[in-house]
Structure 1
Amino acid sequence: MSDGSGTGPAGGAFDDVIAANDDYAARHSLAGLKPVAARGLALVTCMDSRIEPLDMLGLKPGDAKILRNAGARVTDDTLRTLVLAVYLLGVERVLVLPHTRCKMASVPSDEAVHDTILEEYGVDTRSLEFHTDNDQLGALRHDLERIRHHPLLPDGLPVAGAVYDVDTGRISPVDL
């Protein structure tokens, strides 16, 4: 295992971020922050680096639980995490927030993604489910229903959806 010093399996690939952590640690101010969502919010959004979940919703560290994955999809793992967040981490409401120009909403199918990865990289990914859906609003509504009807989540849990525009920074409510 590499210690980040440029030796070992990673070969220095993380030296920049390990070094940057020194600056972060010097100004770190979150010590003592409670592990609950202070504003009772869980946000399910995409892993896309154009999304800054706290800033775009006027939140600060500690206000919300942020769940990120490719396409902002409500997967079984997302549901597992929401159950924990609701019962153990102070979550009282859930916002599902995919975004415009999302790669997972622009491909025709999981099959197309598998084919592309196999053709371009020689890796067979067919054991994975990517949850692609080019009907982004339909997928969002489906995901909202998965949360609303999950047997382990409380009846009446406020659940809403919106789409984040990566070009303007605005969110458009879809199902409030």
Structure 2
Amino acid sequence: MTMFPGDTFADVLAGNSAYSARYTPSELGGRAAQGLAIITCMDSRIEPLALVGMKHGDVKILRNAGARVTDDVLRTLVLATYLLGVDRVLVMPHTDCKMANATEEQIHDAIREEFGVETASVEFRTVDDQEAALALDVRRIRAYPLLPKDLAVAGAVYDVQTGRLLPRDV
């Protein structure tokens, strides 16, 4: 059996040990029971299931920096819509997001200056106008030729200070 290096993941293994001790296998399959996919940011302040009042097995959650609709998100949505029961998508960026509070150049500079790593070959997809980026991402899903034409797509901004979901007309 392969082990994790040193004690770097000791907390992860301890947490999993406690989890598996009380774990009961689910009757759930791989389908989204509520037919919903949420595209949101990787920010740990966001609890996607809780903030929409749903539970484990109800939703497919796709996370990345800035909640952007990337080619990989589109690939995943094709699988989710045809194979996993998704018939509606919520694109949900959030307030106080690093990707909306810094420019592409600032992110590259910060990593280079603090860590000495050149990241010029990576596009971080920062946004200077979060509302416009949200509208573009919603349109991108709606226009994607491999997704069902009747797929319901909506956009909303999650406010990390109030916990409120703020729908947008996009």
* Match in the other structure for 1:18: 13
Paired position in structure 1 for 2:79: 84
Query: TM-score, length-normalised on structure 2?
Result: 0.95
Q: Where do residues 39-58 of structure 1 align in structure 2 (5 Å cutoff)?
A: 39-58=34-53
Q: Which residue of 2 aligns with 1:97?
A: 92
- Percent pairwise identity: 62
State the partner residue of 2:159: 165
Structure 1 residues 9-158: aligned runs within 5 Å: 10-107=5-102, 109-158=103-152
Q: Deviations over 1:141-169 (max 9, x none)?
A: 00000000001001121000000010110
Q: State the number of aligned residues.
A: 170
The letter for the 1-side match of 2:169 is D
Distance, in Å, in 1 between the alignment partners of 2:95 and 2:19 is 31
Q: Which deviates more, 58-67 or 111-120? A: 111-120
Unaligned runs of 5+ in 1: 5-9
- Which one-letter code corresponds to 2:166 in the other structure? S
- Report the aligned-residue RMSD: 1.4
Which residue type is aligned with residue 116 of structure 2?
Answer: G
* Paired residue secondary structure (2:167): strand
CA deviation map 1:12-60 (0-9, x unaligned): 1110111111111122234331100000000000000000011110010
**SS of residue paired to 1:26:** helix
Displaced runs of 4+ in structure 1, greater than 2 A? 29-32
1:2 & 1:124 partners in 2: Cα distance? 32
Task: Name the residue aligned to 1:7.
Answer: none
Contact 1:2 1:11 in 2 (8 A): no
Give the 3-state SS of the residue equivalent to 1:91 in structure 2: coil
**What is the TM-score when the length of structure 1 is the normalising length?**
0.92
Greater relative CO (CA pairs within 8 A, separation 6+): 2
Secondary structure, in 3 states, of the residue corresponding to 1:138? helix
Measured after TM superposition, the shift of residue 11 of structure 1 is 2.1
